[in-house]
Amino acid sequence: MTYTFGLDTFGDRNSDADGKPLSHAQTIRNVAEEGVFAEEAGVDFFGIGEHHTEYFPMPAGDMVLASIAARTERIRLGSAVTVLSSDDPVRVYQRYATLNAISGGRAEVILGRGSSIESFPLFGYDLADYEELFEEKAALFAELVKGGPVTWAGKTRAPLIGQDVVPHTESGPFPVWIGVGGNPQSVIRAARLGFSLALAIIGGPPARFAAYSQLFQRALEKFGRPPLPVLVHSPGHVAATDEQAKAEFWPRWRDIITVMAPERGFAIPTEESFDAETGPDGALYVGSPATVAQKIATNLRVLGASRFDLKYGMPGLTHEQLMTNIELYGGQVIPRARELLG
Amino acid sequence: MRPSRLAVLGAGHVGPVIARLAIKAGYPVAIATSGDPDNLALITELMIPGAQPRWARDAVAEADIVVLAMPLHRFGQIDPGLLNGKLVIDAMNYWPATEGVIEAFEHGGSSEIVARRLAGSVVVKALNHIGYHELEDRARPAGAPDRRAVGAAGDDPAALATIAGLADRIGYDPVRLESLRAGRVLEPGGPVFGAVLPLDEFEQAVREDARSFA
């Protein structure tokens, strides 16, 4: 199996060394720098997740990806995720087909139903409709990425009749994944539509997702499709030592989860729960390069996955801490994980 | 005495977890969504071995206990007549921050509103307040030192006893709340929602919450 390794960001708002938050604009410029540096460091993929909050000021990540594309040669670039439910699939296709053009065929999209729900009221969608919105829009997106005239009708947007949607890609469809949290029916949907599977594992033992990976491959067989890759997306932070990585990450993690807990139903983290999540059976990849590489290799094997995307950063970390994280991830974690995976 | 048969309605995040726990505890379990059971065949085979995928009406017809484990905004699509005479566990939550505002659930406890619509059923609120991953990970046999508590709330003492027994068999110390109204303490925003507490801390948290006296 060929393994690839990525980095994802939500545009986590940076602070300076004194803990003072940087502006949204500076944070966005820093993300662009980090994406360019990720290629230098040896990372295969750089993803930007759509968010609309004060602490994740990243609603138009595709524009940042385009700026990174113009300054890089090799690294693949994509969303992580695009909240398709509150967007127009035609526009999403057009934006990423444009990114694909600028980058010379390096674009990818990870579609999400939107567990970050702030985009629904912002764009005038009713959260109660999220299931229908995502189902319809994902099906339309599957038609759009095939290329060629699209004929489609549904309830969530105007119909298309033999519509030629531009720009055309140069070499067929770009990779599309569906992000899945823990709903087996979402896994079946990804297989039915012929999208690859992105497992978002943000808490608890990763091994429990092995069944989702098996379900995906069996469902692909059932729908008469060839095998497709599975990727794992999880949060983490790499520093020189385990102690340093934890000391930098813990207060930022505690603070942001505490802010998000009421709206997302997360339990407030404790030092005990943090130790469990950063341990061998937890979902956080926080530690030295050796610790993180070992955990990645173990879990890719257990989960039958061929790509790992580390969601790096947290609101309140500094740009310099993130650059060190990227350097260690590209320079040490990835080579070590490849070695462990043989 | 034959064991109670369960019908779990919903195969998203929560339904498969409750189904697995119940199968492990020895209950015969059928699982259903609003659609064709053929679409559930792979999910049950790989993720809920032992569960029978059925049409909802068939699963319910043969069940003693029906578990509502679908998103709350789908509840309105259920025919209340289907559930007549059944003991129903309401494992759903009204949680506008994640699922949006549902006008019918804006005032009062969500399980009380569910019970009013299911006038021919006996409703117990349970298994709603622990996250679905944790519900599975934290289950322990009776007497385990790290066993946790779950709340069960209902107006019918016999039904409440049955569900408390089920909670115990699937791995939790049951805490009975003697009315659906008192069960508001188990809802999002309440003191035990999202928390996985040992029995003494759970009881204390519930006692300290003014709503449990309401």
pLDDT tens digits, one per residue of A196-230: 999 999 988 999 999 999 999 999 999 999 999 99
Amino acid A114: pLDDT? 66
CB B8, CB B64: distance < 8 Å: no
Residue of chain B whose Cα is closest to the Cα of A181: B13
Q: Say whether A265 and B195 touch across the interface (CB within 8 A).
A: no
CB A176, CB A108: distance < 8 Å: yes
- DSSP letter for A16, please: -
Residues of chain B with Cβ-Cβ distance to A203 below 8 Å are: 133
d(CA B83, CA A271): 45
CB A331, CB A43: distance < 8 Å: no
**pLDDT band, residue B185 (cuts 50/70/90):** very high
Q: Which residue, A46, A81, A279, is CA-closest to A176?
A: A81
Amino acid B44: pLDDT? 96
Chain A closest CA to B68's CA: distance in Å?
A: 16
CATH number assigned to the domain covering B6-213: 3.40.50.720
What the block records as the tokens of A124 is 């005038």
Amino acid B211: pLDDT? 58
Chain A closest CA to B2's CA: distance in Å?
A: 31
**pLDDT band, residue A70 (cuts 50/70/90):** very high
- DSSP letter for A330, please: I
Residue of chain A whose Cα is closest to the Cα of B97: A263
Strands A57-58, A51-52: parallel, antiparallel or unpaired by DSSP? Answer: antiparallel
Q: Which of B43, B136, B137 sits opposite A184 (nearest CB)?
A: B43
Collapse the DSSP code of A5 into the 3-class scheme (helix H, G, I; strand E, B; otherwise coil) and give the result. strand
**pLDDT band, residue A116 (cuts 50/70/90):** low
d(CA A84, CA A132): 12
d(CA A189, CA A220): 10
Residues of chain A with Cβ-Cβ distance to B95 below 8 Å are: 265
Q: Which of B99, B136, B189 sits opposite A128 (nearest CB)?
A: B99
CB A106, CB A70: distance < 8 Å: no
Per the model's pLDDT, the better-predicted residue between A340 and B96 turns out to be A340
Q: Mutate which of B14, B46, B128, B193 to disrupt the A interface (most A C-beta within 10 Å)? A: B46
Instruction: Give bridge partners of residue A108 from the DSSP assignment.
Output: A78
Residues of chain B with Cβ-Cβ distance to A185 below 8 Å are: 11-12, 33, 43
pLDDT at A238 > cutoff 60: yes
Residue of chain B whose Cα is closest to the Cα of A213: B46
Chain A closest CA to B59's CA: distance in Å?
A: 19
pLDDT at B1 > cutoff 70: no
What is the ipTM metric for this complex?
A: 0.88
Residues of chain A with Cβ-Cβ distance to B13 below 8 Å are: 181-183
Burial code of A138-174, b = ≥16 C-beta within 10 A, e = fewer?
A: bebbbbbbeeeebebebebeeebeeeebeeebeeeeb
Instruction: Tell me the residue length of chain B.
Output: 214
How many domains does chain A fold into? 1
What the block records as the tokens of A91 is 């526009």
Q: Say whether B133 and A182 touch across the interface (CB within 8 A).
A: yes
What the block records as the tokens of A276 is 């469990």
Q: Say whether B101 and A205 touch across the interface (CB within 8 A).
A: no
Reported as a single tens digit per residue, the pLDDT across B80-107 is 999 999 999 999 999 887 778 899 999 9
Q: Say whether B188 and A265 touch across the interface (CB within 8 A).
A: yes
d(CA B104, CA B113): 8
Q: Mutate which of A185, A208, A263 to disrupt the B interface (most B C-beta within 10 Å)? A: A185
Q: Is the dihedral of CA A101, A106, A111, A116 positive or negative?
A: negative
Instruction: Give bridge partners of residue A15 from the DSSP assignment.
Output: A21
Strands A45-48, A76-79: parallel, antiparallel or unpaired by DSSP? Answer: parallel
Amino acid A261: pLDDT? 78
Q: Say whether B132 and A203 touch across the interface (CB within 8 A).
A: no
Q: What is the 3-state secondary structure (H, E, C) of chain B?
A: CCCCCEEEECCCCHHHHHHHHHHHCCCCEEEECCCCHHHHHHHHHHHCCCCEECCHHHHHHCCCEEEECCCHHHHHHCCHHHHCCCEEEECCCCCHHHHCCCHHHCCCCHHHHHHHHCCCCEEEEECCCCCHHHHHHCCCCCCCCCCCEEEEEECCHHHHHHHHHHHHHHCCEEEEECCCCHHHHHCCCCCCCCCCCCHHHHHHHHHHCHHHHC
Torsion angle of C-alpha atoms A305, A203, A85, B105, degrees rounded to 10: 150
Average pLDDT (B135-149) is 95
Q: Say whether A127 and B99 touch across the interface (CB within 8 A).
A: yes
Please give the interface size between A and B, counted as residue pairs whose CB atoms are below 8 Å apart: 75
Q: Say whether A183 and B98 touch across the interface (CB within 8 A).
A: no
DSSP A207-266: GGGHHHHHHHHHHHHHTT-----EEEEEEEEE-SSHHHHHHHHHHHHHHHHHHHHHHHTP
Q: Say whether A218 and B46 touch across the interface (CB within 8 A).
A: yes
pLDDT above 70 covers a percentage of chain A that reads 98
Average pLDDT (A230-247) is 98
What the block records as the tokens of B11 is 């195969």
Reported as a single tens digit per residue, the pLDDT across A133-167 is 999 999 999 999 999 999 999 999 999 999 999 99
Domain that holds residue A88: 4-341
Strands A51-52, A45-48: parallel, antiparallel or unpaired by DSSP? Answer: unpaired
Chain B closest CA to A183's CA: distance in Å?
A: 5
Q: Say whether A262 and B133 touch across the interface (CB within 8 A).
A: no
Enumerate chain B positions whose Cβ falls within 8 A of a Cβ in A.
11-13, 16, 33, 39, 42-43, 46-47, 71, 73, 95-102, 131-134, 136-137, 188-189, 193-196
Q: Which residue, A101, A102, A105, is CA-closest to A76?
A: A105
In CATH, what number is assigned to the domain containing residue A182?
A: 3.20.20.30
Residue of chain B whose Cα is closest to the Cα of A219: B42
Chain A closest CA to B98's CA: distance in Å?
A: 6
Residues of chain B with Cβ-Cβ distance to A263 below 8 Å are: 97-98
d(CA A34, CA A12): 12
Q: What is the 3-state secondary structure (H, E, C) of A140-183?
A: HHHHHHCCCCEEECCCCCCCEEEECCCCCCCCCCCCEEEEECCC
Reported as a single tens digit per residue, the pLDDT across A12-67 is 999 999 999 999 999 999 999 999 999 999 999 999 999 999 999 999 999 999 99
Reported as a single tens digit per residue, the pLDDT across B2-16 is 789 999 999 999 999
pTM (2 d.p.): 0.93
Residues of chain A with Cβ-Cβ distance to B101 below 8 Å are: 127-128
d(CA A171, CA A105): 8
Average pLDDT (A234-240) is 98
CB A269, CB A203: distance < 8 Å: no
Amino acid B115: pLDDT? 98
Chain A closest CA to B15's CA: distance in Å?
A: 10
